[in-house]
Amino acid sequence: MTLFPIPEYRPDVADINSNFTDEIRNLLVADGSYIPMPSFAATSQSLPKRPLGAVALRSLDGGVAVFAGTEDKLYQLDNTDMSWHSITEKDVNYSATESAPWSFACFGNYVIAVNKNNKPQVFVLGKSQFFRDLGGNPPQAGTVKIWGDFVCLMQLPDNPNRVHWSGLNNAEFWTVGENNCDYQDFPEGGSVQGSSEATNPIIFLQNAIYFATFVPGSDITFSFQKVHDKRGVKSPRSIACRGANVFYADEGGFFQISADGAITPIGFEKVDRSVFTRLNASHISDISGAIDPFYSRVYWAVDYAGRGIFDEMLVYDWGLGKWSTVTINAAFILPIYISGYTLDGLDNVNTNLDQLGISLDSKAWQGGAPILGAFSENFSLGTFSGSPMEAAITTQELGATDGSVQRMENLLCLVDTDQVRLSIGVRFRRSERAAFVWSKECQVSNYTQRFHKRSRGRYHRFRMRIPAGVEWHHLKGFDVSFTSAGRR
């Protein structure tokens, strides 16, 4: 018997006698195992039109407030009947588009919404019934971010290489030169794509990356330093951040940038080549990122088919440095609550959970369930909190190093369910990839808890599938019995 742990998902590298595989679907990475990916469970009625932006945040009463924008309206979710109520400024129709979507930010009690084609909007929690124009005559913008005590607008239609921030602690003060309100133009690097959200933020341009440092008591408010030249962000929606953890997608790869400016190519020789070869170049800018507000995971939704609906999600666990994939049909993804908890305050794992009324004994945390929501393809909001999705893993290709033929007699799957299905793939020559022959699925023996299935070949792969809805907790590996069958 030989015990093999479940291999790491690295489709960019060879899988012969390695610890890597090119198929791990609908699973999440855990320490020493893989855990189930919960299915999508719709909770709201459908929006009248496609969501072009959304945000979930903690309301003043401790509940959850969810806002969403379509091409012409802004909506708030009614938590009683889960319907959407238009809170658009009266007698106003907005002009958002897929190339000019909504961006949301929360600054104190102010919910700010912007798109390139309309004046910035604001809704005051606990006071407003409708959105209205943000006061102070701010510029139109495609993205809004919070830089400590400032609201910052970027992707300005009239000044694409400029960032413009508000007065200190005042979202509706935009008089340049007063109360620390000012702007910064970047002479090179192309258009501003976005930034992190921090007192000292990282600013991404098309071909440059800058650090901004808040200088309290100074006339300049922020100082700016270019830390990378000829490197930037291809996909502005891919930028995802939580505290010092900042991730993004550029042409040809996924990256993490640290507070000292060091860039780590987190997808290099792991997933980059497979993803970006498969993804049409025109859709790279549509990659959408969302970061889990508690667990060390960042999610990127991609649209391989080019139909305007995300069909796969790449999940990267930066604590473990490993990837997995999830099949989805979503129009939009966003961090959101699970089981009644909101986690927008957990941008730092050292946050005092007791002050937020959150217990780690809650079922929301058991098994590491994702704190992630999405709008389905019919535009209803939901969370990934349902029963486990169908999980599938294909192992690495196993063969004797001397090229001899092997006979497989039985296999034990190390998982806490007997509802596993096994297919065995066999071939005799690696040059004949298409000649891989797969057996019909078989089930585990009720008596031995093993799969008793004989096969013969130089190279074997095993495909393990756990049907949708089956409850299980950890998949650790497999134990397989090989004997020599000669050299023919």
Mind listing the domains of the chain with CATH numbers?
2-26+391-484 (2.60.120), 38-134+233-388 (2.130.10)
Q: Is 157 helix (H, G, I), strand (E, B) or coil?
A: coil
Specify the pLDDT at position 186: 97
Residue 305 has a CB neighbour count (10 Å cut-off) of 12
Nearest alpha-carbon partner for 471 in 153, 79, 159, 35: 35
Q: Is 113 helix (H, G, I), strand (E, B) or coil?
A: strand
DSSP characters for 176-229?
TTSTT-EEEE-SSS-SEEEE--SSS-EEEESSEEEEEEE-TTSSSSEEEEEEEE
Specify the pLDDT at position 434: 61
Q: Is 451 helix (H, G, I), strand (E, B) or coil?
A: strand
pLDDT in tens, the chain (488 residues): 578 899 999 999 977 888 999 999 999 999 999 999 999 999 999 999 999 999 998 776 777 899 999 999 999 999 889 999 999 988 899 999 999 999 999 999 999 999 999 999 999 999 999 999 999 999 999 999 999 999 999 999 999 999 999 999 999 999 999 999 999 999 999 999 999 999 999 999 999 999 999 999 888 999 999 999 999 998 899 999 998 899 999 988 999 999 889 999 999 999 999 999 988 766 788 899 999 988 999 999 999 988 889 999 999 999 999 999 999 999 999 998 543 333 333 333 333 333 333 333 333 333 455 689 999 999 999 999 999 999 999 999 998 878 889 998 899 999 999 999 999 999 988 775 667 799 999 999 998 889 998 899 889 999 999 999 999 999 999 999 888 876 65
Specify the pLDDT at position 255: 97
Contact yes or no for 312/304 (Cβ under 8 A): yes
Residue 295: CB partners within 8 Å, gap ≥ 6?
Answer: 317, 368, 370, 371
**Residue type present at position 209:** I
Alpha helix stretches (DSSP H) within 184-341: 272-278
Kindly give the pairing relationship between strand 20-21 and strand 8-9.
Answer: parallel
Q: Is 315 helix (H, G, I), strand (E, B) or coil?
A: strand
Specify the pLDDT at position 219: 87
Q: Using CA atoms in the order 277, 282, 285, 286, what is the torsion angle rounded to 10 degrees?
A: -90
